[in-house]
Chains A and B, each alone.
Chain A
Amino acid sequence: MLDGRGLALALSIAAMLGLRAVGLLVAGRLRPDHPLIAWASAVSQATLSAFVALAVVLPGGAAASLPLAARLAGLAAGLLAWWWGRGRLLPALLAGLAALVAVRALLGG
């Protein structure tokens, strides 16, 4: 018998397969610029950006122990490194994490 966590996971796995399957099914039946697709795309982008904003400004769990200044520094350094590196993800990710750790150490966290 599934507990609450297991049930949520099972429902989510089914939903993810459903999203992907519907996308493959309707491909070719709707134009890429169909309003429904544009709306789904906008909602998914907004959801992800809201998630990132909350994770930086008001994180839960262990990440909440990181000072806000360190989180903001990590984000800023990552974005700057991404921009300087012409969109290369890995160096930007490492630069952001290094800045996070450095600022936290400076603050004595």
Chain B
Amino acid sequence: MSSESPSSPFRAGAGAALGAPAIAMGVSFLAFGAAVAAAGLGPGWALGASLGVYGMAGQLVLLQAGAGDPAGAALGATAANARFLPMAMAIAPWLGPPSGPGPGWRWLALPFIAITPWAAAMRVLPGLPEAARLRWFLGFALASWLVAGLATWLGLLAAPWLRPSLLAALLFANPLYFALLLAAEGRMPASRLPILAGIAAAPLAILLPAAWGLLAAGLVGGTLAFLLRRPARRGGRARGGGGGGGRG
């Protein structure tokens, strides 16, 4: 990957984003746009969610939560995307210095830290010269972000012409995509327990109101996994990737 067009890291990053990642993301965001239209919401809300929240798990939680409890819905969406915090911590060292003589250019990356750009960047940036890293990330991230917005818009426009059966199949692309990302994370032993604990705690979400259920399941499952893992971490090697968990 380090051999990619050193003359224009931004362009190389954008080019990398417009392959398989764009198609996988595009299907998800197209389905999201159609689901937003099916819920009776407009393009402002759809694009605000796709480009502002920019994390599909949180977007779907927000969409499914309804209008009754805004604080609960926002908390549920935040819990679903809580991985942004450790992801940002893991990627920060590859984006340049946080302060000092320069103005802290890494902050330009702030709105774009999400699963797809993060996973690609963690794979590619270590192999690039330091001066090229932030520009490569911004190229990849901006292209992905625009694909997400465009696909959402197309989903909104296409919704009236999509048969309900096709819309339902497209909606399944989101959980399937996340299941595949979790499978990739599950290759790392440290990630298996939180993933299994989340599945085990999922019934909590059925018992509680929609806006709070997923947050409760994640907190209970994740905290249990964290507590169960602690003795092993103290006794053995402390794996440094606890913050990233692999693929974000």
Contacts and interface: CB of A to CB of B under 8 A. Distances in A.
Main secondary structure on A side of the interface with B: helix
Interface in B230-248: 230, 233, 238-245
A4 B68 contact: yes
A1 interface: no
B96 to A, nearest CB: 11
Contact of B222 (A43, A51, A52, A65): A43
Interface in A74-93: 74-75, 78-79, 82-83, 87-90, 92-93
B205 A50 contact: yes
A90 B70 contact: no
A62 B84 CA distance: 28
Contact of B174 (A9, A33, A55): A55
B88 A48 contact: no
A46 B218 contact: yes
Contacts of A52: 175, 178-179, 182, 199
Given A51-B80, A65-B165, A42 B38 contact: no
A20 B171 contact: no
Nearest to A63: B171
Interface residues of A, number: 77
Main secondary structure on B side of the interface with A: helix
Contacts of B215: 47
A47 B92 contact: no
Contacts of A27: 88-90, 92-93, 98
Interface string B190-215: 01011111110110111000100011
Contacts of B1: none
Contacts of B185: 45
B201 A46 contact: yes
Contacts, number: 330
Contacts of B167: 62
Interface string B151-190: 0000000000000110111011111111111111100000
A60 B64 contact: yes
A21 B87 CA distance: 11
B222 A44 contact: yes
B92 A28 contact: yes
Interface of B: 20-21, 23-24, 27, 35, 38-39, 41, 45, 48-49, 52-55, 57-58, 60-62, 64-71, 73-74, 77-90, 92-93, 98, 106-107, 109-111, 113, 164-165, 167-169, 171-185, 191, 193-199, 201-202, 204-206, 210, 214-215, 217-223, 225-226, 229-230, 233, 238-245
Instruction: Sort A-B residue pairs by CB-CB distance and give the 3 closest, nearest first.
Output: A23-B88, A47-B218, A43-B222
14 contacts: A11-B73, A24-B110, A27-B90, A40-B86, A50-B217, A51-B80, A51-B175, A53-B198, A55-B60, A55-B172, A56-B175, A63-B172, A89-B177, A97-B169
Interface of A: 3-9, 11-13, 15-17, 19-28, 30-35, 37-63, 65-66, 71, 74-75, 78-79, 82-83, 87-90, 92-93, 96-97, 100-101, 104, 109
Given A28-B98, A56-B179, A97-B172, 15 more contacts: A8-B62, A13-B52, A16-B81, A27-B89, A33-B238, A37-B85, A41-B86, A42-B222, A43-B221, A44-B218, A45-B83, A61-B35, A62-B168, A78-B179, A89-B20
